[in-house]
Structure 1
């Protein structure tokens, strides 16, 4: 079994070297490392990575989903391990995920811990929360950094939906569950999600639009309660982006949420 690591990056070179070091420090070495640059700035890798990383440049600002999908399309591995350019894997991340895949798993999710400065805190763990009902209402801890998936299954699920940031990761796993494809979890396999104030792969306006498109895509499967929870998130991100418009006033949304909770 061969594992291809796919890292999308977009105009934030300050974090990428540490991310790559966490990949090459793995106890189970990746068979291939692909970096997909969808930023406007040219990507210059440090000499220690130049011969070990394949870099592709795609249309600037095409988005993380498109970058991941492109990387998946050119990858030679049987399995795809996705990692954002500012996050980190523990030393045995690929070994642990690969062991489960060797036993037949076609998709494996791992635990997320938050890295805030030098401090590591518990953040999210998708273990035991992976149900269709939960994923329609919230994200239990699925990102572009803790998914290892068989390439064949990835494309059967049509990859990451570029219309749904930040929900494209959750949507991919949701499509697997809707197709009755089992998803394995490794609650002790650590991924470090870096919490920082720098450039994000997805900004607040895109996040609001992505959640809105997620509701549109899965509306027929959602309960009223699930829709309200999503609309609260849409309002939250619209407000953070400076756009205070919402389909419903926030007070009405909160009252409805209290009624159905």
Structure 2
């Protein structure tokens, strides 16, 4: 392990952690020094820290934190380098950072952090920005998309010492937006600042166009092998949960696919819903046919995917659980392959490619996912003690992502695997086949966006992200009515819809 001590943009010392001996380097800036160190020590972990943190590094946790080579982690206990206005640009869950858990983000800090030399040696451009913090954020933003796992990691330090932080300005923010997002986001940042903060940032806006976009090829990290040092059980037992409503034929095909698995599930937990009071189960084949696993079947008149999934999750007994859907199809290697990858990457949550039969797979890189799917994901049973599907999202939108974000807040990252994949048939007779009354259905002014989407934003996103979403949503709705309504009328109607959504969001927010 090589240790780089710095005072922001000045190198204080470079040493070998084994014997404390000094490492000679030519570089004058920390960002340049990282690449020089990586070339000299291609199999070493490189740690950077501010001089104020001498004696405060938690060396005992490093082996657990950097449990495979494709991990970059850093930490600052109170601040982030990028201005909060980055939320106008970035709508991902990687912006609002809890500081008490391991949390996925590209927002890196120069206070303390680390990266494996083999990753640095894959960078074909060797960008070495004058600001060390800008460099670290840029590196993480580029490589997170192509498979580098980036985290805010409080375990890097023994204690949270009071310290200052290198902070970006609007020139840095506009430059960062220009170099790491599509060009339209530079304009959106400019107008969001003007509309919401009455800031006219013309010079930073123009300054950003002096820089070109930074972009890494999807295969840039392919040479870096992943093998987590985290131990995993040899049995890797797994249960499957399936909520279903009126899809007898499709569910049968799912059970047949599960029966053909080379690694069979222990239990398949089915929660069948039918809200009609005199109805009964239609799944006769659950008992009339032999199955190579135990089937736990619950029939309920209470409809709702959140309720059904929570019932099923409460019955899980195996080490792992597959959140399945009743109109999926998959190959017989699905379970064995996904459990192998979970062990390889040392993770607790995995999600797969989930396309309809006619869709083309475009995302082909293993990476930290910003979304979560309740029909194509796998998680460790231990997580179920801390999270569940929120009934406030029942019959609305966003329950999947809320569940995934609950896990992130508890310190569990969601990793996407392009293979093996699951096909989602999206059965035409599926979904909500019974009309469900919502509290706002009879309102003269309809809440837009959906109050449950507003609730998701309120629970998990920053103020700037919500305002940025509002700005984009305004123009998307206007675009669909561009020739039908003038902008002033649209603005007035939009504000009424938004306020209605916000009102009903607060109503359902109190329904705990």
TM-score w.r.t. the length of structure 2 is: 0.39
- Aligned counterpart, 2:237: 2
- The answer for the alignment partner of 1:64 in structure 2 is 305
Match of 1:27 among 236, 257, 262: 262
CA shift in 2, pair 1:209/1:152, >3 Å? same
Shift of 1:197: 2.6
Alignment of structure 1 residues 168-187 onto 2, 5 Å:
168-187=399-418
Q: Secondary structure at the match of 1:53?
A: strand
Post-superposition offset of 1:162: 2.4
Asked if the contact 2:325/2:376 (under 8 Å) is kept, the reply is no
Query: What is the CA–CA distance in structure 2 between the aligned matches of 1:80 and 1:217, rounded to whole Å?
Result: 26
Q: Does 1:161 align with 2:390?
A: yes
C-alpha contact (below 8 Å) 2:474/2:494 kept by paired residues = no
Distance in 1 of aligned mates of 2:309 and 2:471 = 30
1:194 aligns with 2:425: yes
> Residues 230 and 74 from structure 1, CA distance in 2 versus in 1: closer, same or farther, beyond 3 angstroms?
farther
1:217 Cα deviation (Å)? 2.7
Q: Does 1:110 align with 2:357?
A: no
Q: 1:188 to 1:97 in 2, by over 3 A?
A: same
Q: 2:342 aligns with which of 94, 101, 120?
A: 101
CA shift in 2, pair 1:16/1:228, >3 Å: farther
Higher relative contact order (CA 8 A, sep 6+): 1
Instruction: Give the superposition deviation at 1:13.
Output: 1.8
Q: 1:60 to 1:230 in 2, by over 3 A?
A: farther
1:77 to 318, 336, 357: 318
- Partner of residue 116, structure 2: none
* Equivalent-residue separation in structure 2 for 1:126 and 1:203 (angstroms): 37
1:214 aligns with 2:456: yes
Deviation at 1:27, TM superposition (A): 1.8
Does the 8 A contact of 2:349 with 2:414 survive in 1? yes
Closer, same or farther: CA 214–55 of 1 in aligned 2, 3 Å: same
Does structure 1 conserve the Cα–Cα contact (< 8 Å) formed by 2:348 and 2:413? yes
C-alpha distance in 1, partners of 2:362/2:253?
22
Q: Aligned-pair distance for 1:33?
A: 0.6
Q: In the aligned structure 2, how far is the partner of 1:26 from the partner of 1:222? A: 46
The number of residues matched between the two structures is: 229
Question: Aligned partners of 1:226, 1:114: CA distance in 2, in Å?
Answer: 27
Change (3 A) 1:21 1:216: same
Give the corresponding residue for 1:239.
none
Q: Taking structure 1 as reference, are residues 91 and 222 closer, same or farther at Cα in structure 2, changes over 3 Å only?
A: farther
* Alpha-carbon shift at residue 231 of structure 1 (Å): 7.8
Q: Which residue of 1 aligns with 2:32?
A: none
Aligned to 2:247: 12
How big is the shift at 1:155? 2.8
Decide which of 143, 152, 158 is 2:373's aligned counterpart: 143
Structure number having the greater strand percentage: 1
Distance 2:475 2:272 in 1: 33
Could you say which residue in structure 2 is the equivalent of 1:91? 332
- Stretches of structure 1 that go unaligned for 5 or more consecutive residues are 236-245, 254-261
CA distance in structure 1 between the partners assigned to 2:468 and 2:274 by the alignment: 38
Q: Is the 8 A contact 2:242 2:323 kept in 1?
A: yes
Give a deviation string over 1:63-111, Cα, whole Å, max 9, x none.
1111111111111111110111112222221112211333432111111
* Cα contact 2:368–2:415 (8 A) shared by 1: no
Deviations 1:201-260 (A, max 9, x none): 58898794532332343354661223455789999xxxxxxxxxx99746999xxxxxxx
Q: Report if aligned partners of 2:238, 2:266 keep a CA contact under 8 Å in 1.
A: yes
CA 1:204–1:171 in structure 2 vs 1: closer, same or farther (change >3 Å)?
Answer: farther
Judge conservation of contact 1:89–1:192 (CA < 8 Å) in 2.
Answer: yes
Aligned to 2:280: 42
Asked whether the equivalents of residues 329 and 424 of structure 2 are also in contact (C-alpha less than 8 Å), the reply is yes
> Quick check: 167-176 or 200-209, which moved more?
200-209
